[in-house]
Amino acid sequence: MNEMHNPYLPYPVRVDQVVTETEDEKLKTFKLVFLNPEDEERFDYVPGQFAELSIPGKGEIPIGIASSPTEKGFISFTVNEVGLVSGYLHMMREGYVMGVRGPLGNWYPWEEMEGRNVVIIGGGFAFTTLRSSIVYMLDPGNRGKFKEITVVYGARTPGMLLYKDELASWERREDIQMHITVDGTDDPGWKYNRGFVPAIAKEKVRSADDAIAIVCGPPVMIRYTQPVLEGLGFPPERIILSLEMRMKCGIGMCGRCNIGERYVCKDGPVFSLAQLKQLPPEY
Ligand SMILES: Cc1cc2nc3c(=O)[nH]c(=O)nc-3n(C[C@H](O)[C@H](O)[C@H](O)COP(=O)(O)OP(=O)(O)OC[C@H]3O[C@@H](n4cnc5c(N)ncnc54)[C@H](O)[C@@H]3O)c2cc1C
Ligand code: FES
C-alpha cells in the first residue's frame, strides 16, 4: 500500500457488473473498477487478503477479495446478504459509486506453496478467496510453479454453488483435479459428487506428501475436515485456515477482532493450524 495513503480512507470505485450467483439470490458478485487508475496500482493484493467495502453514510464490512491479481482492470467480491451493510451492498447497481479500503490482512503462504502439491478445500460462500487462489495458480505465468492442484468444493445444493461457469471450465482442464459436491439434490442430471466436504476430501485427497492444504468454510466443515487432513498425514503447519471474525478497523487499531494476543485483521485472517493451536479456542 502507498505509504502516503490514509489507511482509513477508501478508494472510490464504480460498480461495473453485478452477478447473482445463487438460486436464493443472497450471494452476488460485484465487479468494481477504480475511478482513479493509479489507485488500482496502490491496491496491490495477494490471494487470501480482504478489503473493507464501504457504502457512503452506511458503513463498511470486511470481505475477502474474490478476484486474482492476475486479472487486471477490476477487483471483485462475492457478498452474502446477511444484515445491514451487506443489504445496502445488494442494492448497488451497475454505475453506482462506493468505496474499497485495503488490501488488508495477510495471505495464503505462496512461497511455501510454490513447488508443492496444493489441496484446496472450501465450503459454502467462503470459496471467494479460494477462487482468487485458483485463478492465480492457473494463470499461464504461474501454473508451472505448483505441482498437482486438487480442489474439493461443496455447497448445500447445485443452485448454491458459486462461480458455476468457471467450475465447469476448471472441470474440463487436466491440470487441476476438481471434486465438486453438494449435500444433496433431487436433480437426476447432477454429475458430480454427493456428500459433505470432509467425507469427499477423505475419499479424493490422495496424500499429504509434499502438499499444503488451504481450508476455508463454515466452522463445522473446518472442524470435521481437520481430522481428515491430520489422518492423511498433513502436519499442522501445512494446514492453512482463513478466519472470519467480527472486525471494525481492519488494521489492528480498534481491538475488535483479537484472539489472545493476535489480531485476526492484521496477523490473519490466514493462520496455520499450528499457529491456532497456540491460541485460546475462541475462533
Ligand atoms: C476476513 C473476512 C472475510 C470475509 N469475507 C466474506 C466474503 O467474502 N463474503 C461474505 O459474504 N462475507 C464475508 N465476511 C463476513 C462479512 O464481513 C459479514 O457477513 C458482514 O460484516 C456482515 O455485515 P452486515 O452489516 O451486513 O451484517 P450485520 O447487520 O452486522 O449482522 C447481520 C448478521 O451477520 C452476522 N455477522 C456479522 N458480521 C459477521 C462476521 N464477520 N462473521 C460472521 N457473521 C457475521 C451477525 O452476527 C448477524 O447475525 C468476511 C469476514 C471477514 C472478517
Ligand atoms: S478489526 Fe480493529 S483490531 Fe482488528
pLDDT in tens, 21-52: 999 999 999 999 999 999 999 999 999 999 99
Per-residue pLDDT at 95 = 97
Ligand 2 contact via 252 beta carbon (within 6 Å):
yes
Ligand 2 contact via 248 beta carbon (within 6 Å):
yes
Residues 6 or more apart whose Cβ sits within 8 Å of residue 275: none
Task: Answer yes or no: is pLDDT of 221 > 80.
Answer: yes
Task: Answer yes or no: is pLDDT of 87 > 90.
Answer: yes
Which of the listed residues 52, 60, 257 should we mutate to test ligand 2's pocket, taking the one with most ligand atoms within 8 A of CB? 257
Instruction: Name which residue sits closest to atom 3 of ligand 2, judged by CA.
Output: 252
φ and ψ at residue 258, rounded to 5 degrees: -80, 150
> Taking residues 226-237, what's their average pLDDT?
95
Cα–Cα separations (whole angstroms), residue 79 to 87, 96, 124, 247? 9, 16, 12, 16
Q: With b meaning 16 or more CB within 10 Å and e meaning fewer, what string describes 161-193?
A: bbbeeebeebeeeeebbbbbbbeeeeeeeeebb
The pTM score is 0.93
Report the C-alpha gap between 9 and 68 in whole angstroms: 23
Q: Hey, is 129 helix, strand or coil?
A: helix
Mean per-residue pLDDT over the chain, rounded? 93
Among the atoms of ligand 1, which is closest to the Cα of residue 265?
Answer: 1
Alpha helices in the chain (DSSP H): 37-42, 84-90, 110-113, 128-138, 164-171, 197-204, 219-232, 273-277
> Taking residues 109-113, what's their average pLDDT?
96
Q: How confident is the model at residue 8 (pLDDT cuts 50, 70, 90)?
A: confident
* pLDDT per residue as tens digits for the range 250-266: 889 888 888 888 899 99
Per-residue pLDDT at 156 = 94
